């Protein structure tokens, strides 16, 4: 694995899957006996609850706010799939 000029590397998919790392996850590096250990940081219970509240509030604010004009819901979803 090659390190970019900015010090970035791509975490292999198998590592991301095994650690439960996905877009938006937080990770940290720990130094142990001359090695770097990568681990996922578990969001605190309060933080996770705050994120759920924010998402729920966002969905409530936008509920029913999308107008499709004369386009049916079925046609709209067909456009998304194609």
Q: Where are the beta strands (DSSP E) in the chain?
A: 26-32, 35-41
Cβ proximity of 39 and 19 under 8 Å = yes
Domain assignment present for 11: yes
Distance CA 2, CA 10 (A): 9
| CATH number of the domain where residue 47 is located | 2.10.260
Domain assignment present for 78: no
**67, pLDDT greater than 80:** no
Domain assignment present for 40: yes
Domain assignment present for 58: yes
Domain assignment present for 12: yes
Q: Model's pTM, two decimal places?
A: 0.51
Work out how many domains the chain is built from and give that number.
1
Domain assignment present for 82: no
- Identify the domain containing residue 49 by its residue range: 1-63
- C-alpha angle 15/20/24, rounded to 5°? 105
pLDDT digits (tens, 9 = 90+) for 53-65: 889 999 888 887 7
In this prediction, residue 33 carries a pLDDT of 95
């Amino acid at each position: 694995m090659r390190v970019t000029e900015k010090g970035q590397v791509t975490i292999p998919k198998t590592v991301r899957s095994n650690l439960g790392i996905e877009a938006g996850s937080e990770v940290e590096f720990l130094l142990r006996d001359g090695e770097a250990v990568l681990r996922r940081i578990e969001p605190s219970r309060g933080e996770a609850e705050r994120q759920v509240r924010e998402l729920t509030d966002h969905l409530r604010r936008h509920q029913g706010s999308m107008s499709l004009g004369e386009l049916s819901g079925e046609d709209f979803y067909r456009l998304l799939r194609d």
